Every structure is written in C-alpha cells, then in structure tokens.
Structure 1
Amino acid sequence: MNVDSIKSNFKFELVARIIAAVTSGATIVFLARSLEPENYGILFLSISIFTIVGFFAQLGISKSASRYISDYLVEDESQIPHIIKLSTVFLALLVGCSVIGVVLFRYRAAAVMGEPELAFFLLIGTLYIAGFAIKRHTRIILQGFQSIQFSAFIHSVEGVSRLLFVVLFVTVGFGAIGALLGYILSFGLAAIIGTIIIISFYRKYDRSTTPDSDLAKRIFQYSIPIAVTRSASKLDKEVDTLLVGFFLSPLAVSYYAISKQIIRFTEIPASALGFTISPIYGENQSLNELEESARVFETTLVNTLLLYLPACAGLIIISKPTVTYIFGPEYTEAATVLQVMAVYMVLQAIGYITNGGLDFLGKASVRAKIRGSTAILNVVLNIIFIPTFGVIGAAFVTVFTFSLYTIAVLFIMYSEFPVDLVRLAANSSRALIITILMTVPVYVSSLYITGVVTLLGTVAIGAGSWLILSASFGMIGINMDGSILDIVK
C-alpha cells in the first residue's frame, strides 16, 4: 500500500472515530447529568460486564479471519468466501453460548455484586452482547480487506445513532434502562449495515469448490493467542471497574468510569492510526520490505508521542475543572483518578499503534503471553490496593501493569524491524521538550478557569502553543492556508 492510500484510509478512520467519540462523549455527559450518580454507576457496571462477556462471544475469531483474508488476497482469492463463512459460523456459536450463559447466571452475578436490579440489566444486555459482537466482526473483517472506508462508515453510524437513541429513551423517562436500549439499538443498526457490506464482499470473489483442508483449523488455532491477548486486555480495561464496584460502591464506579471515558475519548488518533496501519506490517513482511516497516513504525511512534505527551501534561493540569464543569460538581472527586489515568492514556496510545501490527506479523502468541501475565498481575494488585486506597489505587495499578506491557511490545517491534534508535531518540526528545514548554502557558491560563468557556479557552491556548512549538522544532509543517501538513517527516 502506498503512502497516499495509507493517508486516505487514515483520514476515513480518523473522521469516523472522531464522530463516534464526539457522539459518545455527548452521550456520556448527557447521562451523567440526566441520571443519578448511583444509576450512572450501575449502568456502566453493567456495560463492563457486557464487555467482558462479549469477549467470549468473539474470542479472536474476527482478527484471525482478518489476518488470513489479508494473506489470501495475495495467495488465493478463491478461499476468501470460505474464510468469511467459517468465521461467521464460529462467531454465531460463540454468541449463542455467551447469551445463554448470561441468561442462566444473571441472578447469581447480581447477588455477587450486591446489586439485585443488575439482573434485569443483564437480561436485556444479551442483545447488547450480540449486537456489539456482530458489529465488531464486520469492522475487523473489512480491516483485512483494507476497506477502511466501509469499516469507518459502520463505526460512524453506530456512534451517531447511539446518541440519538439514548437521548430519546432517557428523555421520555426510561432512565438507565432506556440508555441501555439506546446502546443496543445502535449496535443493531451498525451490525445490519456491516452484514450487508460483508455479504457484498462474499459475493465479489469466485469461491473454490472446497476450502483448504486445514483452513478452519488454522483460523481457530490463530484465534487462540489473539483471544488470550483480548481477554487480558478486557481484564485490564474492565475488571478494575468490576472490582471497584465489588469492594466499594456504584458511586465509586461512577468516578472511575468518568475518568476512563475521558481517556477513551482522547485515544481517537492513535486507535485510528493503529487500525489503519496494522495490515501494512503483514503485507510488508510477506514482501520482505522490513526497512519500510521500520520507517512506518518509527514515524508512527514519534507522531503518537508528539500528540499524547502534551495531551497527558495538559490533562493533568486541567483535570479538576474538566470534571467539574463538564460532568458536574458531584463528580469532582474523579479528578485525582483522571490525573493518574492521563499517564495510562499515553501508554494506551502506544499500545494501539503496536498491538494490531504484532497480530498481523504473526506474533499474537508472544503478545498473548505478555498481556496475560500483566493482566493477572493487574487483578492481583487491584485486589490488594482497592480496599486500602480506593479508586486511586485501581488507577495506579492500571498504569503500572500497562507500563510493563508497553515496554515489552516496543521491544518486540524493535526486534522485528531495523529501527534507527538514534533518529527515534532524537525525535522523541523533541516531543518531550515541546511538552515541557507547552505546560507553562497551560498552567498559567488554568488559574483563571471559571467555567466551560474559560476551560475551552485554556484548551485552545494549549493547542495553539503545541502547534507553534511543534512547527518551530520542525516536527510539523503548516500550509499557507493554515492547514497542517505531515507530522514528522
């Protein structure tokens, strides 16, 4: 794939994630202001459970199928319809088993969490699990085709419809259950559109009479290490929320959920970039173009640091007014958690640009072992720290364990490609200096924040300082019309 194609796909995915994130952010703010903190906490406690169960409804089937689609586009296109069909059958079986499990054990789960009303949320949540699984499956399959435009469209539809449905149902008086129904309908709509697009791809290729003798076996086997990695990721991202709910209260969950949702909103550029470039590593490996992969990795990593180090510093400075003026004064206690999670934001961004690439490079097994180890450590440390230090303990544990994982995956990427460490270190150092200099005007302006307008003004000052400093250090180029050119040549 040439540079222009990469940029085009990245723009589609970035726009889609911006749309999804903006609508998601609006949804979260609306819910925080429309629901009581306890109801808000129960809603997102439920969603955390759905997310974990949803993992079992997908495992690594979609990503494994996507990897083999990428391979067979070069080797034998007649096998692609078989890959789509086999992965869909696997997915249907997994979704069915997961939904049955939730229905059977919903009362026991509610009793364990000490929240009887959770049982009804879990019953309705079976539709959430199915809709999300199908929507994600279609997105990942399209990634294998490098059809980022269609994949991005599905993501945009889900984000916009979620906001509309949630606002509608909550406004008419259905409360937290109405919000959950809004999520379900948005996933369902995106899943239907994604399925129609996948069917068109299925019909596009002439199918061989029979699939390769071991095709189903290979798809399933490669899904196992991906599933292990995804399960570890879910442990890192969701089990801490469950443990906060178990050891503390729905109110504490609301503080923790608010912080994590803000962090997820900031991950848009890194997640879009990682989703776009991941198949390229596998393609370059097949063509033995390791030098090109090394340059892609170096540039992507420096771009990520250039964006997220300043964002981290700025968020730490304005965390309290951000929570207070956007979500409401009742959530002010979440500000300290958000400051700690700002560091996690940088680590997560690095993860987004490396995780998918390792899977397409055939390193899913190695990544699974590392992710599994750090996830288990995360659970153990959370059990130790949450009862003593509360939600702030959960935040510190998440940052510590994910730091270990990030160091490990960066080392693997370095071992795979001929990375120029001197150039990488020089550009990374410039990103760090820009961050330090940018914090001065942001801190000064933060002293005068009195509401949403002055908060946005501080953000604008930070963004403007970043642009000027980045251009001065030669990290970005700016056109005469003010539009930004390539970041890091």
Structure 2
Amino acid sequence: MSLKKKLASSKNKNILDISVLWISQFGAVGIAFFTQLLLARILKVEDYGSFTSAINIVTILGGAAAFGAGSNWLRAFGVEGWKAHRWVRPTIKINLIIASIVIVGLLVSTYYMSVSDSTKILTIIFISILLSLTFSTAAEAVYQLEEKYQKLSLLKFSVQGLRFLVVLIASFIGANLLFIGIGYAFGAFILIYVYFRIIKRLYKRKVELKGHAPYGNRTINDIPSIKTAFKYLLPYGSTIVFYSIYFQSNIFIIGLMSGEESVALYNVAFTILNVIYLFPTTFYQSYLIPKVHRWGENNEEKMSLLFKQGSKIVLTIGIIIMLAVAGCASFVVPLLFGERYAEASLILMLLSITIPFRLLCNNLGSILVTEKHVVKKAYYQMTGAIVSIVLNVVFINLWGVYGAAFATIITEFIVMLLFIIGVNSYVPAIKNHKWKNTKKFTNLLLVTTLLVVYYFYVLSNNVTTFGFFIPILVIGLFLIYSLVKLIKNDLIISVKKLLL
C-alpha cells in the first residue's frame, strides 16, 4: 500500500473511531437525560433532591477511590509499553485499600450529616455505585489501550442503559424512591462484575496493546511496592479528586446549607450542562488522551496544533452553545421538567457562562495530562477545589442556590486562566504562541458573557419593558454575524488542520 493510501486509511479510521464514540455517547446522553426527566417527574421535588444528593456524594468518593488508575495506565503503557504491566497489580491493591477507607468513612459520617433520612439511606445503598466507579476508569482504559472504541462505547452506554431500565420500570409500576435506589445498586453490581472481567484480561496480559508488539514470552521484573505505586498514582489521582470537588461539591454543599429542594433545582440545570459536556469529554478522555501521551514524548507539532487549532475550535463552539442554552433556558426547562422546576432555568442561564471556560479547559487539560506536566495540573485543580468550596459556602449563604452558580462561574474562570498560564509557561511547543491571534476570540467571549449576565438580570427581576430587550436583540444579531464569519474564516480550517 502506498504512503498516500496509508495516510488516507488512517484519517478514515480516526474519523470512524470518533464517530462511533460520539454516536454511542449521543445515545447514552439521550438515555441519561431522559432518565433524569423521568426521575424529576415521578418523584417529589424533595425526593429528587435526596436522590441527587446521595448519588453526588458517592460519585465524588468513587472518583477518589479510583485515584486516576485508568489515566495512569494510559500514561504508563503509552510511555513504557509492556513494561508498564508492572503497575497493574499494585494499582488494583491501592484502589481496594482506598475504597475500603472511603466506605468506612462514609458509613460513619453519614450518621452525622445534617441531611434528610432519605438522603442517608440512599447514600448507604449507593455504596455499590461507589465501588463500580472505583474500577470503571481502569476497565475503560483497557479498551482504550486496545483502541477498541466500539466496546468502549458499549461499556459506557451500559451504565446509563441499566439506570434507565430501572427508572422506566419504576415509572410503570409506580414504585417509590427506595425501589429506584435498590435498582441502581443492583445495576452497579452487574457493572462491577463486568469491570473485573475486563481488568482481569490486562492482569493476565491477554490484551492487544495498540502501538506495541505482542507480549510474547518477555519477563517483566521490578514490580513496584504499594508505596512506590501510590507516589506514581498521586498526580493523576489528585487531578481526579480535585476536579470532582470543584465540579460537583456545590451540590453537596447546597444540600447541607439550603436543603433538598434547592438541590433538585440546581441539579436540573446541572443535568442539562452534563449533557453538553459529555460530547467534548468523550472526545478528549476516550479518544485523544491515549494519543496525547504518545505525542508528548516525540511529536511537538501535534501538541502545538492541539493548542492553537483546538483552542479556536472549542472557544467558538463554546460561545455558540452558551448563546443557545441561555436563549432557550427560560422555556425549555419548564417544558421538559415541568413548571415546578421553572426557577432552574435562571440557574441554567448563569451556568451557561461556564461552557466556553470548561471546553477550553478540556483542551488545555489534555495537553497538561502528560507525565511532564500532570503535577502542575493537579496544583491548578487543587486551587480550583479550594476556591470552589470557599466561594460556595460564602455565596450560598448570601444568595442561596444562585450563589452556587456564581461560585461555579468564578471557579471555572480561575481554573481556565491557570491552565492557560501553565500551558504557555511549561509546554515547549507552545511557549512562543502569539496571543494577538486569539484577540477576536476573547473579545467575542467577553461580549457574549456580558450579554448573558444582562439577560439574566432582566429575567430575574421580571422586567417586561420592551426597551430592556432591545440591547439583547441588537447585540445578539451582531454576535450571530460575528460567529458566522468566524466559522467561515477560522473554524473550518482549524478542524481540518487538527483532525486531518
């Protein structure tokens, strides 16, 4: 086969892999979203808040117990090849140790939490979900190392598929909150069994490691101790924990300070944002990260393209989505979730401001995920976690559930700035980047953010005077014109350079 044909075949495979991931993710997102719709409609607002609080707690703790196992395997095998198999056994031991400590701590602390009895009972039931999350990323990493994206997609889809099945049955038979909780727990046990079977294949070296020769009969020595492995896992484990804290802890804090009803309102907006975030997250975590680990070692050109072209793409897309979400929130939320959740539309409007920040962080964070820079990424996300907790406590006390939205906006902005500084300061391929080329993108982001804030002010104060909506209309039309021009002149070219 000629070089030209090989390149064409490689490009087609890349497009096919991305398409498979996104199509399956679209199905998973659709089911996850519809599951939340059903939950919000069949449960009381307080019960939905209790359910959300409980699953939020175990999700954060499950991420802590996983401690970056999957990410570390991707890093280790990307750099060391089959020699990285030495990290598998100690990593699993560390996961089991941390999970045990977390579960004991959760059981003890749940008794003293100032939350409803329903939240406490569900939290205990959802320990099985905590365990499934402990090993989910490790199992997914096995398929990523093999580049079996169809199986990876099915694995991710099954999580939401099982939950949807439980809620669907509950809606037909009129089951209560406890039935749904037990159903979720049963689904988690099924996933734990599947995850262990997948991890066992890697443990026994019965996998096809992409980009490396078959295992053969080679001997792997130098098995690290638990202490050594923990130090190796620490940077990636820290990023997962800190990310979970600044991304999700506000729901837990809202529950403690404002009650389950406020949690339910915030979670409706949070659910819609999660639908949006899953698409870029799938692309970066499932498809791009394994490649970035290889590029970080020997391909500065690809890293430079990922920063320059990738940042343009995500900022443009982020601004478009922010405008769409903010513009539609006031009538979409009541239409989907019912009038009792109408207030969530204002929360969603505020949170839409974070969309460009988060998408840019996804892009920059993928660059900082390599072994050379992951410690810096952990420090940046630790800063975000601290800022998030402090701001949430202060702002929720001042403005209730809206305070949590303002705290999220500021936290996401600070983390984005830290990522920009880190990439520009420490990644060799990007140090000489000319920032004047991005001025039009940042100006557009600023104008769009101010427009959304103004729109929130108008709606939250029940202003109906037509004069207040004229600036929104004029600036909105200007932004649409600017975005169309930007897509034509920059976005299409950037996509071609990055993906092809």
Query: Within 5 A, what are the aligned runs for 1:285-296?
Result: 285-287=296-298, 289-296=299-306
Residue of structure 2 equivalent to 1:322: 332
The DSSP-based 3-state class of the residue aligned with 1:117 is helix
Which residue is 1:68 aligned to? 76
Partners of 1:293 and 1:417 within 8 A in 2: no
| Distance change >3 Å, CA 471–CA 114, structure 1 → 2 | closer
Partner of 2:294: 283
**1:400 maps to which residue?**
410
Amino acid at match of 2:374: A
Deviation of 1:4 after TM superposition, in Å, equals 4.4
**Structure 2 partner of 1:154:** 155
- Counterpart AA for 1:394: A
Match of 1:237?
Answer: 247
Residues 322-471 of structure 1 correspond to what in structure 2 (within 5 A)? 322-415=332-425, 416-419=427-430, 420-421=433-434, 425=438, 428=441
- Corresponding position of 1:171: 172
**3-state SS of paired residue (1:476):** helix
> Which moves more between the two structures, 242-251 or 94-103?
94-103
> Residue 165 of structure 2: SS of its match in structure 1?
helix
**CA positional deviation for 1:102:** 2.7
CA distance in 2, matches of 1:190, 1:357: 31
The 5-angstrom pairing of residues 184-223 of structure 1 reads: 184-201=185-202, 202-204=205-207, 205-206=215-216, 208-214=218-224, 218-223=228-233
Deviates more, 1:277-286 or 1:39-48: 277-286
Secondary structure (helix, strand or coil) at the match of 1:203 reads coil
Take 1:124 and 1:339, find their aligned partners in 2: how far apart are those partners? 33
Tell me how far 1:373 sits from its aligned partner.
1.6
Counterpart AA for 2:166: F
> Would the aligned equivalents of 1:302 and 1:424 in 2 still touch at CA under 8 Å?
no
Partner Cα separation in structure 2 for residue 216 and residue 424 of structure 1: 47
Please name the residue that 2:111 is paired with. 107
Cα distance in 1 between the residues matched to 2:168 and 2:60: 25
Map of 1:121 onto structure 2: 122
Counterpart for residue 181 of structure 2: 180
Cα 1:203–1:60, aligned 2, differ >3 Å: closer, same or farther?
Answer: same
Separation in structure 2 between the aligned mates of residue 431 and residue 8 of structure 1, nearest angstrom: 33
Partner residue, 2:460: none
**Equivalent of 2:15 in 7, 11, 18:** 7
Shift in CA distance, 433/186, structure 1 to aligned 2, threshold 3 Å:
same
Give me the whole-angstrom Cα distance separating, in 2, the residues matched to 1:305 and 1:283. Answer: 25
Of 339-348 and 416-425, the range deviating more from structure 2: 416-425
CA 1:60–1:391: 2 relative to 1, 3 Å: same
| Aligned equivalent of 2:27 | 19
* Residue-by-residue CA offset, 1:406-454 (whole Å, 9 max, x unaligned): 1111232233143443695278479869989xx9xxxxxxxxxxxxxxx
Letter in 1 for 2:411: T
C-alpha contact 2:54 2:120 (8 A) present in aligned 1: no
Distance 1:327 1:341, change over 3 A: same
CA distance in 2, matches of 1:86, 1:51: 23
| Equivalent residues, number | 453
Q: Assess, with a 3 A threshold, how the Cα gap between structure 1 residues 13 and 217 changes in structure 2: closer, same or farther.
A: farther
**What is the deviation of 1:156?**
1.4
Q: Residues 154-199 of structure 1, C-alpha deviation per residue, up to 9 Å, x if partnerless?
A: 1012222221122213432332223333433444444433433343
Partner of 2:275: 265
Residues 301 and 429 in structure 2, CA contact (< 8 A), matched pair in contact too: yes
Aligned to 1:54: 62
RMSD, matched Cα: 3.3
Q: Is the CA contact (8 Å cut-off) linking 2:85 and 2:220 kept in structure 1?
A: no
User: How far apart, in 2, do the equivalents of 1:227 and 1:395 lie?
Assistant: 26
Question: What does residue 131 of structure 2 align with?
Answer: 130
TM-score (norm. length: structure 1): 0.83
Gapped regions of structure 2 (runs ≥ 5): 1-6, 208-214, 453-479
Deviates more, 1:210-219 or 1:339-348: 210-219
1:253–1:397 distance in 2 versus 1, CA, 3 Å? same
Query: Does the C-alpha gap of structure 1 residues 471 and 278 become closer, same or farther in structure 2, counting only changes over 3 Å?
Result: same
Larger mean Cα displacement after TM superposition, 346-355 or 216-225: 216-225
CA 56–435 in structure 1, closer or farther in 2 if over 3 Å, else same: closer
Tell which deviates more after alignment, 179-188 or 224-233: 179-188
TM-score by length of 2: 0.81
1:132–1:188 Cα contact (<8 Å) kept:
no
Measure, in 2, the Cα distance between the counterparts of 1:430 and 1:376: 29
Question: Are residues 1:82 and 2:82 paired?
Answer: no
The whole-number CA distance in structure 1 between the counterparts of 2:17 and 2:246 is 29
Q: 1:229, 1:368 within 8 Å by CA — same for their partners in 2?
A: yes
Mapped to 2, the partners of 1:433 and 1:238 lie a distance apart of 25
Deviations 1:235-278 (A, max 9, x none): 21222111111111211111111111111111133112211212
Partner of 2:97: 93
Give the Cα–Cα distance (whole angstroms) in 1 for the partners of residues 443 and 405 of structure 2.
28
1:474 and 1:357 mapped to 2: Cα distance?
22
Structure 2 residue aligned with 1:444: none
Shift of 1:474: 5.8
Q: Is the 8 A contact 1:170 1:178 kept in 2?
A: no
Q: Secondary structure at the match of 2:198?
A: helix
CA contact (8 A) 2:77 2:85 kept: no
* Residue 120 (structure 1) shift: 1.6
Change (3 A) 1:123 1:486: same
Amino acid paired to 1:137: A
Measured after TM superposition, the shift of residue 294 of structure 1 is 0.6
The letter for the 1-side match of 2:39 is L
Work out whether residues 434 and 466 of structure 1, in 8 Å CA contact, stay in contact via their aligned partners in 2: no
Residues 435 and 406 of structure 1: is their aligned pair in 2 closer, same or farther, counting only changes over 3 Å? closer
CA distance in 1, matches of 2:224, 2:86: 12
2: distance between equivalents of 1:265 and 1:376? 26
Instruction: Give me the whole-angstrom Cα distance separating, in 2, the residues matched to 1:135 and 1:113.
Output: 30
- Measured in 1, the distance between the counterparts of 2:115 and 2:224 equals 47
Match of 2:210 in 1: none
Q: Which amino acid aligns with 1:19?
A: G
